[in-house]
């Protein structure tokens, strides 16, 4: 199953609608092996919110 990612934002930052955790590409997600500089569109298909486990469809570009 393919999950579509929300649209790109100018800052690249995306917020989880369930818990308000923010993915910032400048920081990446080091706990899950996502290097700083990784754009939202390049996250692995199985990536989920580190805070609540929501899939990328629960995120909005901010």
Distance separating alpha carbons of residues 46 and 4, to the nearest angstrom = 11
The residue ranges of every structural domain in the chain are 1-36+46-62
Q: List CB contacts of 26: < 8 A, sequence separation 6 or more.
A: 12, 36, 37
Distance separating alpha carbons of residues 60 and 6, to the nearest angstrom = 6
- For 1, 18, 51, the CA distances from 38, given in Å and listed in that order, are 22, 22, 19
Per-residue pLDDT for the chain (62 aa), expressed as one digit of tens each? 445 554 555 689 999 999 999 999 999 999 999 999 999 999 999 999 999 999 999 999 99
pLDDT in the model for residue 1? 47
Output the pTM of the full model.
Answer: 0.81
> What is the distance of C-alpha 56 from the center of its chain?
6
pLDDT in the model for residue 10? 67
CATH top class, domain 1-36+46-62: mainly beta
């Amino acid at each position: 199953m393919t999950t579509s990612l929300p649209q790109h934002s100018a800052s690249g930052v995306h917020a989880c609608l369930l818990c308000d955790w923010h993915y910032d590409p400048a920081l990446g997600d080091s706990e899950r092996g996502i290097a700083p500089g990784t754009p939202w569109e390049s996250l692995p298909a199985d990536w989920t919110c580190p805070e609540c486990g929501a899939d990328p469809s629960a995120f909005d570009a901010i």
